[in-house]
Amino acid sequence: MFSAIARVFRTPDLRRKLLFTLGIIVIYRIGVFIPTPGVDYGNVQQCLALGNTTGGVYDFVNLFSGGALLQVSIFAMGIMPYITAAIIVQLLRVVIPRFEELHKEGSSGQAKLTQYTRYLTIALALLQATTLVSLARSGLLFAGCQLPVVPDDSLVVILLMILVLTAGTVTIMWMGEMVTEKGIGNGMSMMIFVSIAAGFPASMGNIFRAQGWAIFLAVILIGLVTIAAVVFVEQSQRRVPVQYAKRMVGRRTVGGSSTYIPIKVNMAGVIPVIFASSMLALPTMLVQFNTNDDGTLPGWAEWVSVNLSTSSPLYMAIYVLMVIGFTYFYVSITFNPTEVAENMKKYGGFIPGIRAGRPTAEYLQYVISRITFPGSIYLGIIALTPLLAIVLINADQNFPFGGISILIMVGVGLETVKQINAQMQQRHYEGLLR
CA distances for 184 relative to 13, 86, 97, 180, 409, angstroms: 11, 21, 34, 7, 15
Domains and CATH numbers, the chain: 1-198 (1.10.3370.10), 201-401 (1.10.3370.10)
pLDDT at residue 279, as a whole number: 80
Spatial distance between the Cα atoms of 336 and 357, rounded to a whole number of angstroms: 13
Spatial distance between the Cα atoms of 203 and 45, rounded to a whole number of angstroms: 18
Spatial distance between the Cα atoms of 188 and 400, rounded to a whole number of angstroms: 20
- The 10 Å Cβ neighbour count of residue 228 is 11
Q: pTM of the prediction?
A: 0.78
Nearest alpha-carbon partner for 414 in 179, 185, 196:
185
Spatial distance between the Cα atoms of 252 and 248, rounded to a whole number of angstroms: 6
Query: What is the phi-psi region of residue 34: left when phi exceeds 0, alpha when psi lies from -120 to 50, beta otherwise?
Result: beta
Q: Which residues of the chain have pLDDT under 70?
A: 1-5, 50-61, 143-144, 246-256, 288-299, 301, 390-391, 393-402, 427-434
pLDDT digits (tens, 9 = 90+) for 340-382: 888 888 877 888 888 888 888 899 999 999 999 999 999 888 8
pLDDT at residue 27, as a whole number: 92
Nearest alpha-carbon partner for 268 in 407, 79, 145, 415:
407
pLDDT digits (tens, 9 = 90+) for 61-88: 677 777 777 788 888 888 888 888 888 8
- For residues 44 and 72, the answer to whether their CB atoms sit within 8 Å is yes
- For residues 160 and 38, the answer to whether their CB atoms sit within 8 Å is yes
- For residues 347 and 411, the answer to whether their CB atoms sit within 8 Å is no
Spatial distance between the Cα atoms of 170 and 85, rounded to a whole number of angstroms: 13
pLDDT at residue 212, as a whole number: 78
Strands 258-264 and 247-249, sheet pairing? unpaired
> Residue 323, class by beta-carbon neighbours within 10 Å (0-12 exposed, 13-18 middle, 19+ buried)?
buried
DSSP state of 250: T
